[in-house]
Chain A
């Protein structure tokens, strides 16, 4: 019971962390539109770990603001996009990337949905073919006097 209550408290805290800063002032953007475009481009690839379904470009969470600042500063100091991405994954892991790299750990993530579709279509194909081979009698309503299938009763 206690843990259930504390879980609710923590969930609420998370939710508050996500919305509580909506009223925050606009981010302290620099005056360089080209730099800002690059910052936003990278930020769109990075997940905000506080509000996990938002990029750090879209999130108003405090951490997202800080991470955007970090991206901006790294670009200003002459580092390239790959260096920024590496910096973030070194600290927050592949989870921070909206497009995680393809490796053993993420293979199921990448292949899974496609495999499920192929499996489903394959099953559908087999079932339909099997049915198309059945005679017309198989689609007639059951005869009341016919012997019952023992598995259906």
Chain B
């Protein structure tokens, strides 16, 4: 009888360890939770990619819910994400701004011409300083920012149809209501 109890206890410990192993394996170590969620978006003022003489600042975008997609022509995963973004932009209820991160202007423009332009406007972060302020470390990244300029969500890595449908869409609906 005692032996049975002991086996059960050992089996229980094994199950707990297996549970942690499973949980650990299903996490992606590349996705570091951002401390910026729920915090005001960092102030910026950057030239537009297509019209460098025009600048866009955070204050210009206040009062509306918007998305910021960080992209670059040198970014492999952006290319994978882009068709989805182009398709999504056609029916998106909020403006999508692009942060062209550490890119050459000509390369960025050509990229948009070649693969389509889903952005209301792209702004050029040539030296990556605004990227650092947003805690960007793996392009592409996508932020959802509310009317008050607070960051509500950050997607690290490419958007997927599932993330758009299950996470971002409901959030936009809620923020816009």
Contact = CB atoms under 8 A, between A and B. Distances in A.
Contacts of A90: 35-36
Interface residues of A, number: 25
A14 B102 CA distance: 16
A93 interface: yes
Interface in B75-95: 75-77, 80
Interface in A109-147: none
A14 B32 contact: no
B138 interface: yes
B128 interface: yes
Contacts of A94: 35
A47 to B, nearest CB: 9
Contact of B158 (A6, A52, A67, A95): A6
A102 interface: no
A33 B1 CA distance: 72
A89 interface: yes
A60 B71 CA distance: 21
B7 to A, nearest CB: 8
A63 B72 CA distance: 14
Which secondary structure dominates chain A's binding surface? helix
B22 interface: no
Contacts of B157: 10
A22 interface: no
Contacts of A66: 127-129, 132
B158 A49 contact: no
B133 A91 contact: yes
A43 B98 CA distance: 30
Contacts of A63: 128, 137
Contacts of A52: 29-30
Contact of B35 (A12, A13, A93): A93
A93 B34 contact: yes
B139 to A, nearest CB: 9
Contact of A50 (B3, B29, B137): B137
8 contacts: A10-B157, A10-B158, A13-B76, A52-B29, A91-B36, A92-B34, A93-B32, A95-B33
